[in-house]
Amino acid sequence: MDTAHAKTVNEVLEYFGVGLEYGLSSQQVASAQQMYGRNELAPDAGKPLWKLVLKQFDDLLVKILIVAALVDFFIAFAGGEGLGAFVEPAVIVLILVANATVGVLTETNADRAIEELKAYEADVATVLREGRWTVTPAVEIVPGDIVEVAVGGKVPADVRVAAILSSGLRIDQSILTGESGSVPKSVEPVAAGKAVYQDKTNILFSGTVVTAGRCQGIVTGTGAATAIGKIRDAMAGLEDAETPLRKKLDELGSLLSKVIAVICILVWVVNLPHFKDPIHGSWFAGALYYFKIAVALAVAAIPEGLPAVVTTCLALGTRQMAKQHAIVRKLPSVETLGCTTVICSDKTGTLTTNQMTVVRVTTLGADAGHLADYEVTGTSFAPEGTVLAEEGPLACPADQPALCQLAMCAALCNDSHLSYSSERGTYQRIGEATEVALRVLAEKIGIPGYAAMPHALARLGREERATYCNNHWAEVWRKSYTLDFSRDRRMMSTLCSGPDGPQLFAKGAPEAVLARCTSALLGARAGAATVPMTEALRVRLLQRVTAYGSGSALRTLALACRPWRDARGEVLAGDEVGLTFLGLAGMQDPPRPAVARAVAACTAAGIRVVMVTGDNKATAGSVAAQIGLLGPGEAEGGPSTGTSLAGLEFDELSGKERERAAASLVVFARVEPNHKTALVDLLKAQGHVVAMTGDGVNDAPALRRADIGIAMGSGTAVAKHAADMVLADDNFATIVSAVAAGRAIFANTKQFIRYMISSNIGEVVAIFSAALVGIPECLNPVQLLWVNLVTDGLPATAIGFNKPDPLIMQQRPRRASQGIVDSWLFTRYLVVGAYVGIATVSGFVWWFMAYEGGPQLSWAALRDFQHCEGTACDVFRSRNPSTVSMSVLVVVEMFNALNALSENASLLSIPAWSNPWLVAAIGVSMALHLLILYIPVLAALFSVVPLAWAEWKMVLLLSAPVILVDEVLKLISRTWFSEMATSSFGPSGGGSVRTGWRLSLPWLRRATGGAVKYSPILARAGGVDLTRKRSDEFGATRVASMP
Q: How many residues does the chain have?
A: 1043
Can you give the pTM of this predicted structure? 0.68
Strands (E), 781-900: none
Type of residue at 86 = F
Strands (E), 740-789: none
Q: CB–CB of 610/542 below 8 Å?
A: no
Annotate 774-817 with three-state secondary structure: CCCCCCCHHHHHHHHHHHCHHHHHHHCCCCCCCCHHHCCCCCCC
Q: CB–CB of 836/762 below 8 Å?
A: yes
Q: CB–CB of 213/151 below 8 Å?
A: yes
| DSSP secondary structure letters along 611-677 | EE-SS-HHHHHHHHHHTTSS-GGG---SS--SSEEEHHHHHTS-HHHHHHHHHH--EEES--HHHHH
Active site residue 72: no
Q: Facing residues of 240 across strands?
A: none
3-state secondary structure of 472: helix
Q: CA-CA distances (angstroms) from residue 541 to 362, 483, 548, 955?
A: 9, 25, 11, 88
Amino acid 71: pLDDT: 72
Q: Measured between alpha carbons, how far is 69 from 57 in angstroms, rounded to an integer?
A: 14
3-state secondary structure of 553: coil
Residue 146 sits at the vertex; the CA angle it makes with 142 and 149, to the nearest 5 degrees, is: 105
Q: Measured between alpha carbons, how far is 221 from 218 in angstroms, rounded to an integer?
A: 9
Q: CB–CB of 216/150 below 8 Å?
A: no
Amino acid 988: pLDDT: 34
Q: Measured between alpha carbons, how far is 747 from 753 in angstroms, rounded to an integer?
A: 10
Q: CB–CB of 717/790 below 8 Å?
A: no
Amino acid 1039: pLDDT: 36
Amino acid 1006: pLDDT: 36
Q: Measured between alpha carbons, how far is 693 from 722 in angstroms, rounded to an integer?
A: 11
Annotate 868-894 with three-state secondary structure: CCHHHHHHHHCCHHHHHHHHHHHHHHH
Q: Outline where 140-242 has alpha helix (H).
A: 174-177, 227-235
What's the average pLDDT block by block, 10 residues per block, for the chain (1043 residues)? Answer: 88 93 93 90 65 74 73 69 65 73 59 37 79 91 94 89 88 76 87 78 89 91 84 61 67 73 76 71 75 69 66 74 80 77 87 90 88 92 90 88 94 92 82 91 86 68 90 93 87 92 95 96 74 94 91 89 90 93 94 88 90 85 88 56 80 90 90 87 92 80 87 76 83 83 80 80 84 81 76 81 77 71 79 93 93 87 73 77 94 91 84 89 93 91 91 95 93 70 35 34 34 32 31 32 36
Residue 872 dihedral angles phi and psi, to the nearest 5°:
-65, -20
Give the chain's count of helices (H) and strands (E): 36, 32
The DSSP letter of residue 854 is S
- Which among 173, 42, 44 is positioned nearest to 695, based on CA atoms? 173
| 223 φ/ψ sector (left φ>0, alpha ψ -120 to 50, else beta) | left
Q: CB–CB of 230/197 below 8 Å?
A: no
* Catalytic choice (346, 615, 707, 792): 346
User: Is residue 94 within a helix (H) or strand (E), and if so which, with residue range?
Assistant: helix 87-115
By CB atoms closer than 10 A (0-12, 13-18, 19+), residue 414 is buried
Please list, in sequence order, all residues whose beta carbon lies within 8 angstroms of the beta carbon of residue 873, skipping any fewer than 6 positions away. Answer: 279, 865
User: Is residue 501 within a helix (H) or strand (E), and if so which, with residue range?
Assistant: strand 501-508
Strands 392-393 and 387-389: antiparallel
Please list, in sequence order, all residues whose beta carbon lies within 8 angstroms of the beta carbon of residue 140, skipping any fewer than 6 positions away. Answer: 33, 38, 39
Widest Cα–Cα separation across the chain: 126
Q: Measured between alpha carbons, how far is 887 from 893 in angstroms, rounded to an integer?
A: 10
Q: Measured between alpha carbons, how far is 650 from 644 in angstroms, rounded to an integer?
A: 10
Give residue 158's Cα distance to chain centre: 31
Please list, in sequence order, all residues whose beta carbon lies within 8 angstroms of the beta carbon of residue 683, skipping any fewer than 6 positions away. Answer: 342, 344, 662, 690, 991
3-state secondary structure of 289: helix
Q: CB–CB of 678/657 below 8 Å?
A: no
Amino acid 876: pLDDT: 80
Q: Measured between alpha carbons, how far is 279 from 195 in angstroms, rounded to an integer?
A: 86
- Which among 430, 442, 469, 404 is positioned nearest to 212, based on CA atoms? 430
Amino acid 769: pLDDT: 84
Domains of the chain in sequence order: 1-225 (2.70.150.10), 357-588 (3.40.1110.10)
For the chain, the helix, strand and coil percentages under 3-state DSSP, each to the nearest 5: 50, 15, 35
Q: Measured between alpha carbons, how far is 772 from 779 in angstroms, rounded to an integer?
A: 15
Q: Measured between alpha carbons, how far is 651 from 675 in angstroms, rounded to an integer?
A: 8
